[in-house]
Amino acid sequence: MIALSVNINKIATLRNARGGNMPNVIEHAKNIEMFGANGITVHPRPDERHITYQDVRELKKALKVELNIEGNPKENSFIDLVLETKPSQVTLVPDESDQLTSDHGWDTVKEKGFLSEIIQLFSNNKIRTSLFINPEVAHVQGAQEIGTDRIELYTESYAKSNILEMEKSIEPFINAANKANELGIEINAGHDLNLENLSYFAANIPNLKEVSIGHALIADALNYGMENTVNLYLRALLK
């Protein structure tokens, strides 16, 4: 079964727009867990414009499903937060602090030295590691040499293609996944996956372990309700 981890950053964005605690991020995360999601993903940034560091601490205490924390390990505060909360998984993403959203993966060849040290640090603390990378075979090979447990394939180039382009646009992801399977690296995926493109992606990526979905899922929940939406995404992952 492919795990669904729901990114709840957008719920926190709505809360922060008004101040106070409405909507309640922790309660919504617990509801999403109750509705059947396999995990919760958060991407705290130093300016705390959506998920705050305190949210992460409270989520770690409140959740029974896996907590996945995304962020840039070049920020010391992020490293400290991960080591403090010890989530099930940390996903390392090379974005800048003022970036609107993630838009590229790691160059695992150029960043091998730095990433190897960070991966070892988290591994020593028994935290599963994942590297956010573009669907390039060379970067999968680099990830294996770095020692990460998983990669997360950055799926925007696939997700932005129309239905007639899907077969072509998914080819680099299949090639990257085949290389990861050959090297014994587990595979996650995320960015702009939605109800229109998720099933095809899941059916064609061999041994896909987990998808992380936030923006589209939260937007769909405005129309369909959160419980129904979580179940729609879970069904889309069935092969």
Residue spans per domain, the chain: 3-236
When the pLDDT of each residue in the chain is averaged and rounded to a whole number, the result is 95
Tell me, yes or no, if 215 is annotated catalytic.
no
- pLDDT > 70? residue 99: no
* Residue among 28, 50, 139, 191 flagged as catalytic: 191
What confidence score (pLDDT) does residue 225 get? 98
| Domain at 3-236: CATH architecture | Alpha-Beta Barrel (3.20)
- What average pLDDT score do residues 137-166 get? 94
- What average pLDDT score do residues 100-121 get? 88
Q: Model confidence at 163, in pLDDT bands (50, 70, 90)? A: confident
Q: Is the pTM of this model over 0.85?
A: yes
Give the DSSP per-residue string, the chain.
--EEEEE-HHHHHHHHHH-TTSS-HHHHHHHHHHTT-SEEEE---TT-SSS-HHHHHHHHHH-SSEEEEEE-TTSHHHHHHHHHH--SEEEE----TT-SS------TTTTHHHHHHHHHHHHHTT-EEEEEE-S-HHHHHHHHHHT-SEEEEE-HHHHTS-TTTHHHHTHHHHHHHHHHHHHT-EEEEESS--TTTHHHHHHHSTTEEEEEE-HHHHHHHHHH-HHHHHHHHHHHT--
Tell me, yes or no, if 191 is annotated catalytic.
yes
* Residue among 28, 33, 43, 210 flagged as catalytic: 43
What confidence score (pLDDT) does residue 100 get? 53
- What average pLDDT score do residues 159-177 get? 93
What whole-number percentage of the chain has pLDDT above 70? Answer: 96
Tell me, yes or no, if 70 is annotated catalytic.
yes
Tell me the per-residue pLDDT of 34-78, one tens digit each, with 9 for 90 and over. Answer: 999 999 999 999 899 999 999 999 999 999 999 999 999 999 999
* Residue among 33, 66, 70, 136 flagged as catalytic: 70
